[in-house]
Amino acid sequence: MTGLEAFILGLIQGLTEFLPVSSSGHLVVLQALFGTEQQGILVEIVVHVATLVSVLVFYRRRVGLLIAGALRGNPDALIYGLKLVVATLPAVLLVLVAGDFLDGLFESPAVAGVGFLITGAILWSTRNTVSSAKFSGPGWGAALLIGCAQALAIMPGISRSGATVAAALALGVAPLAAAEFSFLMSVIAISGAAVRALPELGAAPSGVIVPLAIAGVSALVFGIAAIWLFVRLLQSRGFHYFAYYTWAAGFAVFAGLAITAAR
């Protein structure tokens, strides 16, 4: 993997992790195009950790208040933190039960293509819910259901941010509160995924360290930009328009596979 390829992969991860277009789907397709499948797990670890840092930087004030409140025993901070944990449980359970099967999905661009089409349908469903969502945060049941949406988004091509925010909006959570809960959920989810794959990073050959570092820095910078853009777009009520992009991406994947098969 060259430095330019690493930069592009980091850019794509940084933008697509938070914009509702599926970072995993894009990485599966791009790794297939670049022929970097064997380094795919390493790239996934580095760019996901970088986007985790993006969330912490963007929401540093909110994260600081939650941590300080929890240390002081503030009920609101403790309850919000516990809701984030509850929302993480479905994905954790799914990985424990079907981790090997899920890993296999990341080897198929066709699976990513299907995921893109599903994401489009999810995003399109928000065109009405976004205007009626008013709650300042999710309840316990809503947090669990949002977590189920996150579990669904383990499949490549299904956007984690898109699925979780769409679920939150459908459950009545106001747009900016839905985005905040989704992004703070990602701190736990991304941390868990990174820890699970750390042995792979420890075995990385020295020749890929520089490209991985380039990918990480790229993902960090563009991740912060993507969160800012995401929040702005939610405020403008244009969230569902991303469906056109994911539908186009899905059809493009299958068109590319058909062309390759015909050669």
Mean pLDDT of each 10-residue bin along the chain, 263 residues long: 83 86 83 62 77 92 93 94 95 89 87 96 92 92 96 92 96 95 86 66 65 90 93 86 95 92 82
Q: Is 219 helix (H, G, I), strand (E, B) or coil?
A: helix
Q: Name the pTM for this structure.
A: 0.86
Question: Alpha carbon 223 to chain centroid distance?
Answer: 11
Q: C-alpha distances in angstroms, 43 versus 56, 91, 220, 239, 250?
A: 20, 21, 13, 28, 22
Q: How many residues does the chain have?
A: 263
Q: Which is nearest to 176 in space by CA: 52, 35, 62?
A: 62
Q: What is the pLDDT of residue 94?
A: 93
pLDDT reported for residue 115 = 96
Closest by Cα among 2, 4, 12 to 221: 12
In whole angstroms, what is the distance from residue 114 CA to residue 148 CA? Answer: 19
Name the one residue in this structure whose structure tokens are 């690493």: 6
C-alpha distances (whole Å) from 186 to each of 132, 145, 193, 206 are 25, 15, 10, 29
Please answer whether residues 146 and 4 qualify as being in contact, where contact means their C-beta atoms are separated by less than 8 angstroms. no
